[in-house]
Copies of this chain bind each other. A is one copy, B any other.
Amino acid sequence: MLVALDELRRLNRQALTLAGFQEDEIKPMLDILLYAQLRGNLQSIVQFAGPGMPKDPEAGEPRVIKETPLSALLDGNRNAGMVVMHRAMGLALEKAVAQGFGMVGTRNTCQATAAIGYYVRHLAVSGFIGLAFSGSGKKVAHFGSYQPIYGTNPLAVGLPTLEEPIVLDMATSALPFFKLVAASMLGQPLPAGVALDATGQDTTDPRAALSGALRSMDRSPKGSGLGLLVEALTGPLVGAAFANVGDTDHNWGNLILSINPELLVGLGEFQRQMTALREAVKSCSRLPGVKEIFLPGERSDQRAAIALQSGYLEIDGQLFRRFREKITGP
């Protein structure tokens, strides 16, 4: 169904208020949530429609527990992933402005960072190459196994151009976790080949998959390798839980890096050539039936632009009504 953006914004705000967040937290969270929702990442709507996203009553202020000129380690102190990553993004940017490079790790959050493309896009708009990696609950099996050992482990990269940045934001799992939860909630089957049940059999039943595991993005050792990489950068490197080690339900980690292109060719030259790269890719010969070649994130950005222009976003009706009922009552 077509949902008015005004209503979506209002419901997001109500949902966060009901969840116990304060105004200074709600402001960045709303921005991040809408960025994700406009791009078809409905993680937050599925979450609000289901178990909710209550603020941890024990949550305190995130605090820097280690700092160098190039880096910081941020203890999220059980605060929301979005709030903590927003802080981490700001710190990584400050350090890269001052030193050319900034790297910030976070630990002790257990709620989604929503869409890590948001954070690297902000860095890219500011003239920096941004990289982000996000840990979460364990739902993905390594190649050859059916035991969940990795999060869906997204990686995101933001690349400045003369125009809008190019933003690659991808789960290293075959399916984002929210799509699994949504399928279970709505009683819809999964695509073939993305999930295994608790005994290691292929399944398209989302409930069976929830007690089993997702496969990695390409069902090959390469996808598992990327999953392991993100697990290492968001677990061992930042002092968060990982695999089956530590409190994997409550101590998730994230990592964000900001790199100044001035360290190499310089920003202007990088932007110019990135625009040339974009144009070269866009104008490639197309396979039969292909109307347009898309760069990473481009279709999501188009979707967002159309929604912002029209004031309406297409969302699965059943899912949206559940979300709205959860917030405003039936």
| A75 vs B103: C-alpha distance when bound (angstroms) | 27
Of all chain B residues, the one with the shortest Cβ separation from A141 is B284
Cβ of A192 within 8 Å of any chain B Cβ, yes or no, is no
B238 touches A276 (CB 8 A): no
Residue ID in chain B nearest A263 by CB atoms:
B71
Question: Would B101 and A70 count as touching, CB distance under 8 A?
Answer: yes
A129 contact set on B, CB distance < 8 A = 237
A269 touches B (CB below 8 Å): yes
Stretch in A23-31, A218-226, A319-327 touching the partner: A218-226
Query: Is B70 within 8 A of A293, CB to CB?
Result: no
Given known contacts A144-B287, A263-B68, A287-B144, A221 and B100 CB-to-CB distance under 8 angstroms = no
A274 to B295, alpha carbons, bound, how many Å?
34
- Chain B CB within 8 A of A244 CB: yes
Where chain A touches its partner, the secondary structure class is: mixed
Instruction: Please tell me if A36 contacts chain B, counting CB pairs below 8 Å.
Output: no
A97 to chain B, nearest CB (A): 14
Query: Is A236 close to B, CB under 8 A?
Result: yes
| CB within 8 Å of B: which A232-291 residues | 232, 235-239, 242-245, 259, 261-265, 269-270, 273-274, 276-277, 280-281, 284-288, 290
Chain B residues with Cβ under 8 A from A105's Cβ?
Answer: 264-265
With an 8 A cutoff between CB atoms, is A37 at the interface?
no
User: B236, A146: Cβ atoms under 8 Å?
Assistant: no
Chain A, interface residues (CB within 8 Å), range: 35 or more
Contact B228 A276 (CB under 8 A): no
Is residue A296 contacting chain B, with contact meaning CB distance below 8 A? yes
Number of identical monomers bound together in the oligomeric complex: 2
Chain B residues whose CB sits within 8 angstroms of the CB of A80 once the complex forms? none
**Contacts of A166 on B, CB cut-off 8 Å?**
228, 232
Q: Do residues B221 and A238 form an inter-chain contact, with CB atoms below 8 A? A: no
Task: Answer whether A99 and B73 are a contact pair too, CB < 8 Å, given A149-B281, A285-B146.
Answer: no
The answer to whether A232 and B274 touch across the interface, beta carbons within 8 angstroms, is: yes
1/0 per position for A53-89, CB-CB distance to B under 8 A? Answer: 0000000000000101011010000000000000000
Answer whether A218 and B217 are a contact pair too, CB < 8 Å, given A145-B286, A284-B147: yes
Given A100-B70, A280-B245, verify A237-B218 contact (CB < 8 Å): no
Q: Does A231 contact B (CB under 8 A)?
A: yes
A263 neighbours in B (Cβ, 8 Å): 68, 70-71, 103
Provide the residues of chain B in CB contact with A288, threshold 8 Å. 200
Give the CA-CA distance A236 to B281 in the complex, in Å.
14
How far in angstroms is the closest Cβ of chain B from A272?
8
Asked, given contacts A71-B100, A103-B263, whether A145 binds B222 with beta carbons under 8 Å apart, the answer is no
Task: Tell me if A157 counts as interface (CB < 8 A to partner B).
Answer: yes
Interface membership of A214, Cβ < 8 A: no
Complex contact B294–A265 (CB within 8 A)? no
- Chain B contacts of A157 at CB under 8 A? 229
Given A70-B70, A166-B228, A239-B269; 18 other pairs, CB 8 A cutoff: A68-B263, A70-B263, A71-B100, A73-B264, A73-B265, A144-B294, A145-B286, A145-B290, A145-B293, A149-B280, A159-B232, A166-B232, A217-B218, A217-B222, A228-B277, A235-B277, A237-B261, A238-B264
